[in-house]
Copies of this chain bind each other. A is one copy, B any other.
């Protein structure tokens, strides 16, 4: 196996220069960099990253903890994190966290504390106090993506405001019978972010003197969840709401599909608004509160690199951008 000395000799540079050229850390001229890279290629040289890591104390690796990624939000967010880490030449170690399982306990109690990262990004996992303590005891910078922020820098949209603005949009159009689809999850528990969205819905109704009209249809935050809950709401002609706020676009799209199946025209007989601006929102002409999880991924990496440079800097809590996108799933009631 070739060593860095072999590469340096072939390229006619010092070992230190060869090392800088291959690691991308520290200045070398473009011409020298190319000469070293060609020498390394010719010798099939592979940097012994463990040795590098022992020497520098850095792993060039960031640990990502997130639920299994079968939803648009997480996939987009992960893509954003990947883009930023790749540009910075960091590796990404991915840990899935199934809710409430033994795997989760093993992850926090024994796996993560024994792994070495330069930093950790926790996405949508709502760590318990004990889990957070375990993460903090590792002494590595930690950034959370999501609406909980004790003990870490964090980024998320203002979920309460997002749902309030979505509901206010319907109230301004003249709706009074506005239902919320998405009041529960599979386990019967609301995620912290979804609970805030429910708060925002209630807050908007309350401010408009419409609290007596509040109606929440429990649904998992998925298309089938929204479909089933909306089908239940819309089945009884006399008690049918004139508008629906979906806890997320997937639930709202499920509601649009349910309405179409029941022969209820959107938006003339039913208005529907979501939260996310999901990749399918445009196809369903869905009015929604847009956010960009991909940009949140970039931002999470930026927050983490700041903390890696200055571990004692004050925690930052960044409110990600979100804004009403009006398409044609909402209109005044008949």
On A, residues with C-beta under 8 Å from B are 22, 37, 44, 46-51, 53-54, 59, 61, 64, 68-72, 75-76, 78-79, 82-83, 86, 89, 91-96, 103, 107, 110-111, 113-116, 137-138, 223-224, 227, 254, 257, 260-261, 279-280, 282-283
Contacts and interface: CB of A to CB of B under 8 A. Distances in A.
Given A46-B114, A138-B46, A257-B257, A68 B79 contact: yes
Nearest to A260: B260
A224 B96 CA distance: 29
Contacts of A75: 68-71, 75
Q: A-B pairs with the 5 shortest C-beta distances?
A: A50-B53, A70-B75, A68-B79, A82-B96, A50-B50
A137 B45 CA distance: 10
A137 B94 contact: no
A327 to B, nearest CB: 14
Contact of A46 (B37, B103, B113, B280): B113
A116 B82 contact: no
User: How often does this chain occur in the complex, in copies?
Assistant: 2
Nearest to A138: B46
Given A50-B51, A50-B53, A92-B94, 12 more contacts: A37-B110, A50-B116, A69-B75, A82-B96, A86-B95, A91-B93, A92-B95, A223-B283, A224-B282, A224-B283, A254-B283, A257-B283
Nearest to A87: B103
B79 A96 contact: yes
A54 B50 contact: yes
28 contacts: A22-B114, A37-B110, A46-B114, A49-B116, A50-B51, A50-B54, A50-B59, A50-B116, A61-B93, A68-B75, A68-B82, A69-B69, A70-B75, A70-B79, A70-B279, A71-B75, A78-B94, A79-B96, A86-B103, A91-B93, A91-B115, A93-B93, A223-B283, A224-B283, A227-B283, A254-B283, A257-B257, A260-B261
Contacts of A113: 46
A254 B280 CA distance: 10
